Amino acid sequence: MSDQLVGATGERVFTATIEKDQRIEPRDWMPDAYRKTMIRQIAQHAHSEIIGMQPEGAWITRAPSLRRKAILLAKVQDEAGHGLYLYSAAETLGADRGDLTRRLIEGRQKYSSIFNYPTLTFADVGVIGWLVDGAAICNQVPLCRSSYGPYARAMIRICKEESFHQRQGYELLMTMMRGTEGQREMVQDAVNRWWWPSLMMFGPPDTESPNTAQSMAWKIKRHTNDELRQRFVDMSVPQAEALGVTLPDPDLRWNGVREHYDFGEIDWSELKRVISGDGPMNAERIAHRRRADEEGAWVRDAAAAHAAKKRRDGGAVDAPEDVRGPAAETMAEKRHGGVAHSAGGERHGGAVFSAGEEREGA
Amino acid sequence: MSGEIKHEWPLFEVFVRAKRGLNHVHVGSLRAADHEMALHHARDLYTRRNEGVSIWVVRSDDVVASGPDEKDAFFAPSGDKVYRHPTYYAIPDSVPHI
Ligand SMILES: [Fe+2]
Ligand SMILES: [Fe+2]
């Protein structure tokens, strides 16, 4: 039976698992290239969620009402959560999240090109929810069936939350469209600026996407870039009509033969430019992330020092019985009574609650 | 003293009980300086929408797992004991409620 341990068998088991549409789990044997590709894919996705907090985060203090502020806070907090679920998945492959953050800050790993555009008005917040989160949903729903288990599970969690993101954005835009002429112009202007970059979120055309075949074989990609892009266009056109805005593409029209919308040529040189670091906001996004990392360093150090001191003093909070056996829950809840209670209290109080309430009603 | 400061907080595995009557289920991991902070972070990260009524956090280092390579040696013995399953026993259809 020990011959089962050798690599050739590992590869056979790996391939058979994928062919049976089952999931690869962290401790399974996997080809180095698969591990590397997964780490890169998950890290890039995690970075996108974290950098993606900035364009909308910029509007939290300027949201036009308490309701919109609460919603935006909850949405941006979700994006932070998405980033953390994904770093958690990357760590199951042997990556280290501190190292991944360094790679992001040093420009050695990428994030989605879309977050390198500025948010000029509050209508941008609505358009990001509608189009950018909408495109993200198109990309992410098939990834819930990724062959890598921890990634697929993170995607399921993320997709559940994305629906609130898209709906709050669309509702925001509907509200503005019912407003003044000036508000309607703001919405149209934001649509004009975000439509094409949203289409670029699906990546280069299939003809220039050399890794697609391998990724499809490994089932870490389920549809090609162009398939997903088409799906997004087909979904968005009727939504734009219902909203009363015009998508900025004179070639956009229904093709009865293909049973899809035809659309104009994407400016691929723009995508290349933005990906290679030369978009309108690349430098600022990274500088901001670097600043947050540096300015938070003392907090992380202080917390680590405090934890070390408590361990030395035999502090109660770290006592091992907290996590042992059937009594663990009661112990933990008794000991951390404060924690457990404030957790419940915060969830049901104030800002976060109103956002949650609306989501449930939606 | 400062030599003890570790920049990377340790990894914790998080388990959430979705509601009363259910087991805690593993939901993911997070980094925290200690168990108390891990509980706080787990609440913020994994229960933003009433996903749970109770949380366990466990240092990842403390988890001992069976390896996928031990699969046969570890789990095979249960495979050939078909008599542990109710379907192993032939009972006439005419006998009710069994
Ligand atoms: Fe997200
Ligand atoms: Fe989102």
Do β-strands B24-31 and A260-262 pair in parallel, antiparallel, or remain unpaired?
A: unpaired
Strand partners, A24: A148
Task: Tell the residue number behind the tokens 């495109």, with chain if given.
Answer: A135
Domain around B72: 11-88
Return d(Cα A321, Cα A133) in angstroms, integer: 43
Q: Is residue B23 part of a domain?
A: yes
Cβ–Cβ under 8 Å, residues B45 and A84: yes
Q: Please tell me which residue, B74 or A174, carries the higher pLDDT value.
A: A174
C-alpha to C-alpha distances, A85 to A39, A198, A294, nearest whole angstrom:
13, 24, 22
In a domain, B64, yes or no: yes
Longest dimension (CA), chain A: 75
Q: How many A/B residue pairs have CB atoms within 8 Å?
A: 108
Distance to chain A for B29, nearest Cα, Å: 5
Q: Are B62 and B15 in contact (CB under 8 A)?
A: no
Find the length of chain B: 98
| Count helices and strands in chain A by DSSP H and E runs | 16, 2
Chain A CA closest to residue B36: A317
Of B44, B45, B69, the CB nearest to A5: B69
Q: Which two three-digit tokens encode residue A157?
A: 């969690």
Q: Are A25 and A93 in contact (CB under 8 A)?
A: no
CATH no. for residue B82? 3.10.20.520
Q: Rounded to an integer, what distance in angstroms lies between the CA atom of residue A47 and that of residue A357?
A: 29
Best A6, A347, A348, A360 member to test B by mutation, with max B CBs in 10 Å, is A347
Give domain status of residue B6, yes or no. Answer: no
The alpha-helical segments, DSSP class H, found in chain B are 35-46, 71-79
Give chain B's mean pLDDT.
87
* Residue A97 to chain B, least CA–CA distance (Å): 9
Determine how many CB atoms are found less than 10 A away from the CB of residue B89: 8
DSSP A223: S
Quote the pLDDT of residue B75: 79
Phi, psi dihedral angles at A307 (to 5 degrees) = -65, -40
Report which bound ligand comes closest to the CA of A164: 2
Q: Residue B61, Cβ neighbours under 10 Å: how many?
A: 10
Residues contacting A321, CB < 8 A, separation 6+:
A327, A328, A331
Look at residue A264 and give its three-state secondary structure: coil
Q: Please state, in angstroms and as integers, the Cα–Cα distance from residue A47 to each residue in A43, A81, A95, A111, B21, following that order.
A: 6, 12, 14, 5, 37
Total structural domains within chain B? 1
- Please report where in the chains the tokens 């036009």 appear, as a residue: A64
Among the partner residues B4, B33, B36, nearest to A339 by beta-carbon distance: B36
CB A229 within 8 A of CB A199: yes
In a domain, residue B22? The reply is yes
pLDDT by residue, tens only, chain A of 362 residues: 444 455 678 899 999 999 999 999 999 999 999 999 999 999 999 999 999 999 999 999 999 999 999 999 999 999 999 999 999 999 999 999 999 999 999 999 999 999 999 999 999 999 999 999 999 999 999 999 999 999 999 999 999 999 999 999 999 999 999 999 999 999 999 999 999 999 999 999 999 988 889 999 999 999 999 999 999 999 999 999 999 999 999 999 999 999 999 999 999 999 999 999 999 999 999 999 999 999 999 999 999 999 999 989 985 544 444 444 444 444 444 444 333 333 333 323 333 222 323 332 32
Query: Which uninterrupted H or E stretch holds B12?
Result: strand B11-17
Return the residue in B36, B40, B64, B71 with the most chain A beta carbons within 10 A, the one to mutate for interface testing: B36
Q: Could you tell me if A110 and A295 are in contact, meaning their C-beta atoms sit under 8 angstroms apart? A: no
- Residue A340 has a pLDDT of 35
Look-up of token digits 């308490």? A66
pLDDT confidence of residue A120: 97
**Per-residue model confidence (pLDDT) at position A218:** 96
Question: Measured in whole angstroms, how far is the alpha carbon of residue A206 from the centre of its chain?
Answer: 23
B36 within domain boundaries: yes
Q: How many CA atoms lie within 13 A of A31 on its CB side?
A: 12
What H or E segment, with its residue span, contains residue B26? strand B24-31
pLDDT beyond 70 at B65: yes
Q: Which of A78, A88, A92 sits opposite B30 (nearest CB)?
A: A88
Question: Which of helix, strand or coil describes residue A170?
Answer: helix
Q: What is the pLDDT of residue A6?
A: 55
A161 Cα: distance to centroid of ligand 1 (angstroms): 8
pLDDT of residue A323: 44
Q: Give the number of other CB atoms < 10 A from CB of residue A350.
A: 12
Distance of CA A318 to the CA centre of its chain: 33
Token output for B28: 């993911």
Residue B5 lies in a domain: no
The model carries a pTM of 0.85
Residue B70: what pLDDT? 66
CA–centroid distance, A196 to ligand 1, in Å, is: 20
What integer pLDDT is reported at residue A315 of this predicted model?
58
Q: Closest by alpha carbon to A174, among A162, A165, A183, A164?
A: A183
Which residues lie closer than 8 Å to A107 by C-beta, 6 or more apart?
A: A277, A286
Contact A61, A119 (CB under 8 A): no
Instruction: Answer yes or no: is B41 within a domain.
Output: yes
The answer as to whether B68 is a domain residue is yes
